[in-house]
Amino acid sequence: MNRRSTREILKQEINTVALKKNARFKVALIYPNRYYLGMSNLGIHAVYGLLNKRDDTVCERFFYEGQKQFLSLENASPLNSFDILAFSISYELDYFNALAFLRDAGISFPARECRVMPFIIVGGMVNGFNFLPLSGVSDALFLGEAEQSLTAFMDSLSAFSHVDTIAKKKLFLSEVSRHKGIFVPGISKADEVKPCFIEDLDEYPTSTKIITAATEFSDTFLVEISRGCARGCRFCVTGAVCAKFRSRTTDVLFDEIERGLQYTSKIGLVGAAVSDYPCMEPLLRFLNKKKAMISVSSLRMETVSADLLGALARSGQRTVTFAPETGSDELRYAINKRISNIEIMEKIKLAKECGIKKLKLYFMIGLPREQEKDINAIIDLAKAARDILPLRVNVGIFVPKPKTPFAKEPFADKRVLNSRLKFLKQKLIAEKNITLNTASIPEASKEAKLAFSDATFLDNYFKII
């Protein structure tokens, strides 16, 4: 990101924390991927808000746009001027980009034991199922939801006298290792640290902190209505590691929405399972009364209603996205997604009746026990859906993840994946009203290796930086 594009980005942001002169701690919040993705991620907003709310802390953001040197977005400060480098890792492939930040900050490896500052801390979705890859260079890793554990970490740091020697740092880290959800390499035992999850989400309302046009939901104020998912799809990390389904009460959401409407008329509802939200009716009534335009991050076909689809269509949302994952009922039930093709088609018809104009369907190949007939079934379901609404088909590749019920299943043979993707392309690409987007086999294969990698990841990759 050059200074010109940085200035342009800042100009269009609302609510950026510009300067906080008297803060005791400077935190670099590093999302090692593009600004567009990072600012679409409510977790980044939550951490940015949580840290900047503290009088003793200023937090500035860093993103990865392919550059080799990094300056903070807010004040163009270099990484070595920060006390804490806080990484948020959403995808395994972001580890490689994280290494570019470490190199620019002059962090060598293995050197944790002889480095006083900066602290290197790591959180994010990947830590939920495997926190080991960056453990060789990190001072603390956050497992689960960071609101409580990060607050505990900062409170401890604030109460501690100046951390200016290795001995004091060790003392401090041994103190924070007692907090739930914090793994301190060299002190904590990997199998004894439990992830931290918030019981009562109302205590931590989570919504957009900085509004910007350059995100997935442009100029939209995102409000998180729920976390977790109880549906138990066997491949899914969210279902396996994000604790049970929890939701916020409408009173809390109404306050957040009122706040968001001061900046924009667009409200985005966020959650792993938005349509499972138990108080959707009063929530939609409120949004309607406030004349808010709404959008949603994802919809569960099982629970999506005409009320919600109609509200989306009236707000100008033209496309809805569903994830059947498979074309055949048999394979779908085998992955524990309990909806049939007949029901899926009913929901697609309902979407059309409610005014939705386009459809996006997510499928996955390489699933355990998948056969050629399952690939044909994807083609059949896609064509049937396309007869109702113009369709974009996204084909992903199953990657086994630790802690999920499919953790021990293999990553499919690359030749089989190749021929199945080729077949799908042959059959769908020329079809009228169907566009096709397919995942990359090399990237999925790399992701599969990284998902189960351990601290030796750094041994291998620090050699090349």
Q: Which residues sit at the interface with ligand SF4, rule CB under 6 A? A: 229, 231-233, 236, 238-239, 272-273, 300
Residue 6, both tokens: 């940085």
Question: Cβ of residue 232: shortest distance to ligand SF4, in angstroms?
Answer: 6
* Cβ-based nearer residue to ligand SF4, 136 or 327: 327
Residue nearest to ligand SF4 (CB): 239
* Cβ-based nearer residue to ligand SF4, 205 or 232: 232
Question: Cβ of residue 378: shortest distance to ligand SF4, in angstroms?
Answer: 17
Residue 221, both tokens: 């104020």
* Cβ-based nearer residue to ligand SF4, 163 or 364: 364
* Cβ-based nearer residue to ligand SF4, 48 or 363: 363
* Cβ-based nearer residue to ligand SF4, 231 or 401: 231
By C-alpha distance, which of 89, 181, 171, 90 is closest to 137? 89
* Cβ-based nearer residue to ligand SF4, 184 or 233: 233
Cβ contact 276:303 at 8 Å: yes
* Cβ-based nearer residue to ligand SF4, 220 or 226: 226
Cβ contact 197:245 at 8 Å: no
Phi, psi angles (nearest 5°) of residue 322: -120, 155
Phi, psi angles (nearest 5°) of residue 363: -120, 165
DSSP strands (E only) in 287-357:
293-296, 319-325
* Cβ-based nearer residue to ligand SF4, 98 or 365: 365
Question: Cβ of residue 239: shortest distance to ligand SF4, in angstroms?
Answer: 3
Widest CA span of the chain, in angstroms? 68
Question: Cβ of residue 302: shortest distance to ligand SF4, in angstroms?
Answer: 8
* Cβ-based nearer residue to ligand SF4, 97 or 341: 341
DSSP strands (E only) in 13-53:
25-31
- In sequence order, which residues have a C-beta less than 8 Å from that of residue 431 and are 6 or more positions away? 382, 383, 386
CA 114, chain centre distance (Å):
33
Residue 413, both tokens: 């043979």
Question: Cβ of residue 29: shortest distance to ligand SF4, in angstroms?
Answer: 26
Question: CB atoms < 10 A from the CB of 291, how many?
Answer: 9
Question: Cβ of residue 92: shortest distance to ligand SF4, in angstroms?
Answer: 17
Question: Cβ of residue 229: shortest distance to ligand SF4, in angstroms?
Answer: 3
- In sequence order, which residues have a C-beta less than 8 Å from that of residue 345 and are 6 or more positions away? 384, 385, 388
Question: Cβ of residue 326: shortest distance to ligand SF4, in angstroms?
Answer: 12
The residue behind tokens 């790591």 is: 122
By C-alpha distance, which of 428, 412, 414 is closest to 380? 428
Q: What is the rounded CA–CA span in Å between residue 340 and residue 38?
A: 35
Cβ contact 278:248 at 8 Å: no
Question: Cβ of residue 234: shortest distance to ligand SF4, in angstroms?
Answer: 9
Q: Which residues is 164 bridged to in the sheet?
A: none
Q: 3-class DSSP state for residue 300? A: coil
Question: Cβ of residue 295: shortest distance to ligand SF4, in angstroms?
Answer: 18
Phi, psi angles (nearest 5°) of residue 221: -90, 110
* Cβ-based nearer residue to ligand SF4, 288 or 303: 303
